[in-house]
Amino acid sequence: MYTQCPECLSVFSVDARTLAQAHGFVMCGHCGAGFDCIGTLADQLPPEPFNELPSHEPGVEPPRVDLVVYRPQPVTAQETAADTSPTQDDFANLIITPRFARDQRIERPRRWPWILACTLFLLGLAAQIGWALRDTLIADPTTGAALRQACAALHCQLPSVRGVDKLRLLARDVQTHPTVAGALMISATIRNDAAFTQPWPVVTIRLSDANGKVLAMRRLEPYEYLDDTDQLRHGLAAGASTALIFEVEDPGRQAVAFDLGFE
């Protein structure tokens, strides 16, 4: 049998085995073009000279084949089940995935270091804000009470908060010093109306004449009028009252009035 390349018009000899193997599609050994050799397949070559082999146009309907030479027997269900049952040879080629490969998970980025760092940063920021506002927080009745309870449980001591506006002068008196000549002894009773312990105040004493003119003034630090070191360190407790004694120089007979102030 013969066929012709449609590109270079070269004619080749082919056999049935080549046609079956290539399903009718071959490559030209001259120009390398691929083509369907069934279209120009011929048993005999036409007389020479010729240019093209006649082409076979596809029919409207495919030809029907009726002569049966072999038909396979149908397979029963039992035979199918027997054939599909696993044998020892089948398990010999079975590939088992290792357990570590089955349990392998996609590694995700670790976020806990960032979360820990952000938490520590926020705690540090809150501590700084609390320390900057410590006087306000301790003086507040609600937060101050909570902080005192927490500090009592932790056996710590809150920093002292100064609130001179909560100090009340209950009584005062001035007299000539009984043992020191040219000196006055002033006594005063004060009470801490604040809900928290505050440090001892700085006391300002002013002596004035009948016209209100200040003749002398003395500013006394807590260590100057308190001899008890423990009392000085612990401060004036909430709601506590105490009597204080101040010794000042006598400015003369013109001093007829005095007043006390707290800082």
pLDDT in tens, the chain (263 residues): 888 888 888 888 888 887 787 788 888 888 988 888 888 888 888 888 878 878 776 554 666 666 656 567 776 666 666 555 555 555 556 555 555 555 555 566 778 888 888 999 888 888 888 777 777 777 777 777 787 788 878 877 777 778 888 899 999 998 888 888 888 889 999 999 988 888 899 999 998 988 888 888 889 999 988 988 888 888 898 899 999 988 888 888 888 888 889 98
Give, for 82, the enclosing helix (H) or strand (E): helix 77-84
Residue 109 lies inside a defined structural domain of this protein: no
Same-domain pairing of 191 and 146 = no
69 occurs within a structural domain: no
Query: Strands (DSSP E) along 40-195, which ranges?
Result: 167-176, 183-192
Name the amino acid, one letter, at 144.
G
The DSSP letter of residue 239 is T
The CATH number that applies at residue 222 is: 2.60.40
Residue 136 falls inside a structural domain = yes
- What integer pLDDT is reported at residue 89 of this predicted model? 58
The verdict on 230 and 176 lying in the same domain is yes
| CB 263, CB 164: distance < 8 Å | yes
Number of structural domains the chain divides into: 3
Q: Does one domain contain both 135 and 169?
A: no
Whether the CB-CB separation of 79 and 39 falls below 8 Å is answered with no
Shared-domain flag, residues 144 and 203:
no
Q: How far is CA 19 from CA 1, 27, 38, in A?
A: 10, 12, 8
Please give the DSSP secondary-structure letter assigned to residue 76.
P
| Residues 168 and 240 placed together within one structural domain of the fold | yes
Together in a domain, 180 and 149 = no
Residue range of the domain that includes 132: 122-154
Q: Which residues contact 42 (CB under 8 A, 6 or more apart)?
A: 1, 2, 3, 53, 54
Intra-chain end-to-end CA distance of the chain, in Å: 127
